Structure 1
């Protein structure tokens, strides 16, 4: 049975995924529901218990002091600090450029005397979850915190596992977090969503995490906002006969080492390249230090699809809607213009996902599991609200009141009709 639905005409598999990345979530859902309920009712005490259970440690004080933050920064070796600040500068510059495209609309008049507009209002308090994960991802705090500072968020709360690498604390500090807490997992999401004696309640939670973090974000959504529900990482590469098998294999394995559930795939119009990439992945795994993780991802979720032509390749790519989509074709810019479903696009063989993952400037928090069909990744706009407003002159009331009153009457909404008519009657009485 196919693990991928809606396979377009003209697509066959050289290598098919052995497993589906969307498994039964019932055990995680039940466990997270209990965690959220406990923390909502018992606050810090429950956070401490779950930290001890899941992370093996529970700090006496959750918040990282300013002295500890500064010590973490001082402990960075000079090159790591320089590289971190390089990434911060690039992410900041791109976020500022994006923010410049979101302008306030001060006074639009669809009719005489009817004035409308919108303001760009930063979210008051944001919670940034920073995963500790399998590796100390020094770029993770940069991607969630820096755009929040550019957007003008009032207060930025960062949570990361208590056993996270000290460099992660330094990254949160350098990126601009106002407060940093040593709390990880679903308990961090609960603490930020509901608030405790130690952790303030936030208005929106952003940032990736494991299945428990993801499920916790899903369950708290409503009273607080979230950025998205991100699953395991994904990379797909579109290539024709000009693709380089060694480069493609290298990029696939670079992403596969994130997690054993990473989805990695090649979609190509050239069967010879498909076979060469499969052989090259096997060869590179023999010397890759992270082969235990990358090899498992390739074994269970690796895919190579061979397409009859370019149209089939584009159609199948849009079905997958990969988180990271690289284009290795003869004319990558022309191909890129024809694609519509992806998290972030890497055009041409020189644009590797790893550059964006670490320091190039675009955000690495992106939609997975085909969510690229309807949303993009985390960006500066996620930290702001576009809130509309309107005001009317007497001329404007004369324009809109009659049709509004008639429509309300047609709908049987007498209260609406009266509200619409009232101001018109007052103007006519004058």
Structure 2
């Protein structure tokens, strides 16, 4: 294994400052409610709203302001995301009571959470695609109350019109102009104007992520996500220009984003580095993408595809692209990734926007134990049991003995009174 392009080693950075600041913000939101929310809205976004909920008039104005082609594109993407979510939901079925042994009947129900919130980041550019990705699966799952929020455009009172249009198209019930860790606190604990929700999903900066960590347990969350990342596995048949473009598509997200190429062909690896440098000359987002590429990008020459597969499974990337001649031999061996893109035509950006799979995905190796947001994120499977007198005779004595074994004598009692 040879590194044709290395990442710069990172210094260990403490997160105590972020943790403490977020703790302070959430505490103040819990204590002061809307008053604190207004204070932080002004402090961080210059947004002086008295009512945080977006009105129907604001939504209609946004729809008029956004280009017709953009509305069409958002509806096209929304339709694909919804269709895939509907097909995913088909795997969730109620299991009616089944007699697993004489007199013991077990079953389960798959039911949606009652309420959820989709956090949509703001920042340098609008991210309407994230609104579609968090709201539509929840809607398909059957969530009754779907809330969403995003910070107002800096020094204004409103969310970016494209994001607002996407929230409306996706089917949100309530939309709020607020962002940052204060928004997460308001959604988790509620304020005078905002009822708390049962679950919060969606990406965000380090403050949003830390806030989700701190409120986890009070509400459900999807996962804690970090900077975006892509790993590409390639052989001699791969196109360096396509690989370079896909690496830069991740790199432009954030200076901390990572683009990694694992290739079995030295020429493909070196040509990819050249193509990245060529693209950066004219890329409008070159300032961010170049920093991410120079600091975090890697091109690793691998002896065999088997070695690439092993390393990829260890990295457990958010996005994983396969650009090799014999895809069918590689794909079954890949076990850790957020979303998989098979073949040259499957651009990761299609997953970001329009293919129908979700782009809210696990990062920082968490794909080892979780997948991304999907319709199942919003569905809980709950069990039920019914025991007849015949069943009681079979399982009652066993439960009584196990209760005594564990020193839980009220457990034993609960079994014994039924047996008598």
Residues 353-392 of structure 1: matches in 2 within 5 Å?
353-392=348-387
Q: 2:67 aligns with which of 54, 77, 88?
A: 77
Retained in 2: the 8 A contact 1:21–1:301? no
- Residues 204, 225 of structure 1: 8 Å contact kept: yes
Instruction: Indicate which of 315, 321, 327 corresponds to 1:320.
Output: 315
Most deviating of 307-316 and 53-62: 53-62
SS of residue paired to 1:139? helix
After TM superposition, list the pairs within 5 Å mapping 1:29-108 onto structure 2: 29-108=19-98
Tell me whether 13-22 or 311-320 shows the greater mean CA deviation. 13-22
- The 5 Å alignment of 1:401-412 reads 401-412=396-407
* 1:37-96, Cα deviation, whole Å (9 max, x unpaired): 111100111111111111122322211011111221232221111111111111001001
1:176 aligned residue: 171
What is aligned with 1:6?
none
Report deviation, 1:22. Answer: 7.3
Secondary structure, in 3 states, of the residue corresponding to 1:253?
helix
Instruction: Look up the match of 2:143.
Output: 153
* Corresponding position: 1:197 with 2:192: yes
The secondary structure found in structure 2 opposite 1:236 is strand
Q: In the alignment, is the contact (CA less than 8 A) between 2:128 and 2:164 conserved in 1?
A: no
Q: Is the 8 A contact 1:119 1:388 kept in 2?
A: yes
Q: Give me the whole-angstrom Cα distance separating, in 1, the residues matched to 2:246 and 2:110.
A: 38
1:363: Cα distance to partner?
Answer: 0.3
Q: Distance in 2 between matches of 1:58 and 1:208?
A: 24
Residue 345 of structure 2 aligns to a residue whose secondary structure is coil
Q: Is the counterpart of residue 118 in structure 1 residue 118 in structure 2?
A: no
**CA shift digits 1:190-228 (9 cap, x unpaired):** 100110011110111010001100000000111111011
Pairwise CA RMSD of aligned residues?
1.2
Report the alpha carbon displacement of residue 109 of structure 1 after superposing the two structures with TM. Answer: 2.4
SS of alignment partner, residue 320 of structure 2? strand
Report the Cα distance in structure 1 between the residues aligned to 2:11 and 2:253, rounded to whole angstroms: 14
Tell me the equivalent position of 1:337: 332
Q: Is the 8 A contact 1:324 1:353 kept in 2?
A: yes
For the residue of structure 1 that corresponds to 2:384, the secondary structure is strand
For residues 343 and 194 of structure 1, what CA distance do their matches in structure 2 show? 30
In structure 2, the residue matched to 1:428 is none
For residue 144 of structure 1, what is the aligned residue in structure 2? Answer: 134
- Correspondent of 1:257 among 246, 252, 264: 252
CA separation in 2, counterparts of 1:22 and 1:253?
25
After superposition, the C-alpha distances for 1:110-151 in whole angstroms (9 at most, x for unaligned) are 211111111111111101101113221221100000011101
SS in 1 for 2:146: strand
Query: 2:283 aligned to 271, 282, 288, which one?
Result: 288
Cross-structure match for 1:223? 218
Q: Is the 8 A contact 2:42 2:48 kept in 1?
A: yes
Residue aligned with 2:230, SS: strand
**Distance in 2 (alpha carbons) for counterparts of 1:334 and 1:165:** 45
Contact 1:333–1:347 under 8 Å retained in 2: no
8 Å CA contact 2:128–2:167 kept in 1: the answer is: no
Count of aligned pairs = 415
Whole-Å separation in 1 of the counterparts to 2:43 and 2:66: 30
TM-score by length of 1: 0.94
Q: 1:135 aligns with which of 121, 125, 128?
A: 125
Moved over 3 A (4+): 19-23
Deviation at 1:21, TM superposition (A): 9.2
**Partners of 1:262 and 1:21 in 2: CA distance:** 16
* Structure-1 separation of matches of 2:137 and 2:123: 22
Displacement of 1:12 in angstroms is 3.0
| Structure 2 residue aligned with 1:300 | 295
Counterpart among 235, 238, 250 of residue 240 in structure 1: 235
Equivalent residues of 2:99, 2:106 under 8 A apart: yes
Residue 277 of structure 1 pairs with residue 267 of structure 2: no
